[in-house]
Chains A and B, each alone.
Chain A
Amino acid sequence: MDERAFSRVAETYAGRLYAVAYRLLRNRADAEDAVQRALMKAFAARASYSPRWAVSTWLYRVLSNVCIDELRRRRPPPEPAPGHGGRAADGVERADLARALDAVPREARLLLALHYVDGLSYLELARVRGISVNTVKSQLARGKAILRRALEN
């Protein structure tokens, strides 16, 4: 992949990569930093990109690696950033969901984010994380069960 092709790809995916990073890291500066680092890593490794991969799978793999390492450094999880809830009416619900997501283990949270931001299929998710499709399914189901319980309370 040459430099120009890479910047086109980066432009196409920057928004979605940001959405995943923002929902995982929960603040704008960290999300931007994560996307920046992921794109730089992908750029440096663009020679090793193999076309048997979908570009999205590859970029999400690199981004997941950066975000997960960032989450490793964060214990305990930070307080939710105030004032990002959007309009007041759905703000409460969104804040609830953001809080409920904190209760979901990191691996499941990452799969949920990838699945819902860009609609990645089970197979794509399995490729991004290097896990089996069955593990993807059980992780997503477990994550959603935890969310449901947290939202009911």
Chain B
Amino acid sequence: MNFSVSEAVFLLLAFATVFSASLVIAARNPINSAMALVATFFFLAAIYAQLLAHTIAVLQILVYAGAIMVLFLFVIMLLSLTDLGAPGPRVTFHRVVGGAAAFGLFVALVLALLRWHANPVTGRPGSGLRFGTLEAVGGLLYTRWLLPFEAVSLLLLVAMVGAVVVAKPRV
């Protein structure tokens, strides 16, 4: 088997992503989970860049690895979960069923993927080199997708107010 450089890079990033994502699930301490999640976001941003989605890769690091993870870490430290509590039974009926359901979903998705074949790339005229750049994404965002964009700004405002109200001790 001989790999091209892109394939080798992809394999490396894919293994790193899956490994750190598994650490998120496996770590006992939520802080370790959060740190593994930051690593996952960075590896995913690299994969996005490999897919020529440069703008989304930068946003992934800014918003996910930056803003959202800071929020997570703040909450973990605010709750000061020093005592993780009694571990409880490790294997319960609920957990076995949950694990089997996740595995079954994966098998179903793989079977679906095996039956699917990518279309040959046609490529719209004019998309070429601008694909995935801030210019191309921004151009679409402020013309055809302006209404959803404004709706998202409203959603963020509602979320901001809602978060303050919900977290307040007494309303």
A associates with B: no
Q: B residues touching A (Cβ–Cβ < 8 Å)?
A: none
